[in-house]
Structure 1
Amino acid sequence: MGTNKRLRIIGKTITPVVIPKPFFYVKGCKVSITREPKENEKGYLPYPRRMHYGKLIKGVRKAPTIKNCYQGFVVVDFPGNNQQTVKRLQWFLSLKGLGKHQNNGMGKMQWLERQEVTAKKKTPRGKKLVIRKGLGHHPKLMQTAIKTLLLHDFVHTEKHDSKIYHEVEIANRFIREACKKHHENGKERQNNWLIPIIKKYDGLASFLNRRIPKRRER
């Protein structure tokens, strides 16, 4: 086996594997549950189909007893090429299942083939500013207003510059317009319901930030 190649075994799940994440390590080997057993153009294994072990109720939060599970192909990559790798290979090939609740029939799998693969150079993933956690179970309009309030100080306007070096690119047109024009007094506020809300709470925040002098200083 060449220096740039590594050993890989591929299997397929029969029943979903109950595990928190589809990518994990066992005995120093990376185990991936993927939708396809080959890397994509960027060098990453595609994310598998996610399911739930338990019964979900619509409109109700997921119970702690309901676990994530994944179904697809099982890819195990072995580091190095020595006697320890052979022992690890034999141990993995003896497995008939992965994950939790195997006594209940979950995590069953079968091995398909063994390969020698060359490591691919991965393309760095782009980072996006996404606000999705911490908003609570509020109506969509309220969530939009909260997002706008969180973002409005990070956008350049005529009265102040952004508080970060690179201005945030906002995809939503109404949020972008409200962040840009919340300091203006034109008719734009009539066409965007977010502008008066941002003006109100931005003014309230600036009022609360003013330093109230103590009695001794008056």
Structure 2
Amino acid sequence: MRYRPITAGLVAAAACSAAAAYCAWVRPWVMTWGATEDEVAAKLPGDELLPGADGIATRAITIDAPPAAVYPWLAQMGPSPRGGAYTYDWIENLLGLDMHSTDRVLEEYQHPAVGDTIGHGAEASRIEIAEPDHAFVTRTADGDWVWSFTLVPVGQSTRLISRNRFRLPGLGKKLAMIPMEPGSLIMERKMLQGIKERAEALAHAE
């Protein structure tokens, strides 16, 4: 039995096929986990800050608590001494982000204002929108990443919609983002679930 040697052409073809399958079948779910079609299509606070985005991820979760119990966890997000990101701290800290997710409301960070900075150095973001119980939006110093949270009341619950808009200058950055997208879902899914648990506990304790 003769075996066909593996050539660079075959490897390239397989890689292209895998990328095409990912973009067609997997990527839509990765980029819109938990969100409805209407939420994905909706214009949300902060969209205007980066209208020409190269990529958009809209993810969402239903929280059994009113917006007033959700917003405090958004307002205090960020590296120590702020409240963390409510996701896998050990992964965040492998990257040197100094995240320590808290289970309590930090009163000293409950009044964020437009222009305030979260984080330090190249990782710092500026608060662009801080509307209690409605929207919280940050943008990186280079303007290439806008992260918005929109709170939509639904009866006694809240739909928390997280949207990442990003600009990726150059083909290299665009290609590099593709394998990072599933990882971003893993981290953000945990974060949304972490906010949900904390907000519901806060609401039920009142």
Range of TM-score over shorter length: under 0.3
Give TM-score, length-normalised by structure 1: 0.24
Q: Which has the larger helix fraction?
A: 2
Higher Rg: 1
Higher relative contact order (CA 8 A, sep 6+): 2
